[in-house]
Amino acid sequence: MGLRFVAAAGAALVLVSTAGAAFALDAAAVVKARHDFFHGIGRPAKAIKEELGKSEPAVADIQKYAAAIDAAAPQLPAQFPTGSGPESGVKTGAKADIWAKPAEFKKAADNFATAAHALNVTTQKGDVAAIKQAFGALGGTCKSCHDGFREEEHH
């Protein structure tokens, strides 16, 4: 009986450590997907900024980029499932406050989604001055969230 217990305990330990390793792999995949998600928002945002810096911005291009950001914005909270923060051991720029202060994080994410939608709606009207204002508001929501929920040193 003692030998069976030791064997069973050993098997359980292997199972637990294997599950832990599998979770670490999942956390790494989540963090990579999250990184890719933000680059997917960053690229069109950078393109909008570049267009708005031109003497004659291509509004049709800005509309396309704004639509892409608007479509992605509501997906932001889903990029931060429990267990994918610093406690996972995977390098991430996400602060633990995302999970420790979920209501604040949700509010910041909602503000971003609202501003992304407002930018998208504004671009459809074609008024470059209004687009610049809406894009500035979107940038403000990015900064607010980064200030509260993103580590300074990231990548």
- Cα dist from 107 to 52, 64, 102, 116, 135, whole Å: 28, 26, 8, 14, 19
Q: pTM for the whole thing?
A: 0.81
In a domain, 34, yes or no: no
Sign of CA pseudo-dihedral 19, 22, 23, 24: positive
In a domain, 82, yes or no: no
Q: How many CB atoms lie within 10 A of CB 68?
A: 19
User: For residue 152, what pLDDT is reported?
Assistant: 79
Give 74-128 as a DSSP string.
GGTGGG--TT-SGGGSS--SB-THHHHSHHHHHHHHHHHHHHHHHHHHHHHHT-H
- Angle ∠(147,148,151) on CA atoms, nearest 5: 70
In a domain, 98, yes or no: yes
In a domain, 96, yes or no: yes
In a domain, 107, yes or no: yes
In a domain, 101, yes or no: yes
| Count: domains in the chain | 1
Residue with tokens 């390098």: 91
- Residues 64 and 45: their CA atoms lie apart, in Å, by 11
What is the separation of C-alpha 89 from the centre of its chain, rounded to a whole number of angstroms?
A: 18
CATH number, domain of 142, equals: 1.20.120.10
Domain extent at residue 60: 40-77+91-149
Question: pLDDT digit of tens for each residue in the chain (155 aa)?
Answer: 444 534 444 444 444 434 444 444 599 999 999 999 999 999 999 999 999 999 999 999 999 999 999 999 999 999 999 999 999 999 999 999 999 999 999 999 999 999 999 999 999 999 999 999 999 999 999 999 999 999 976 44
In a domain, 15, yes or no: no
In a domain, 64, yes or no: yes
- Residues 34 and 99: their CA atoms lie apart, in Å, by 15
Q: 76 near 105, Cβ under 8 Å?
A: no
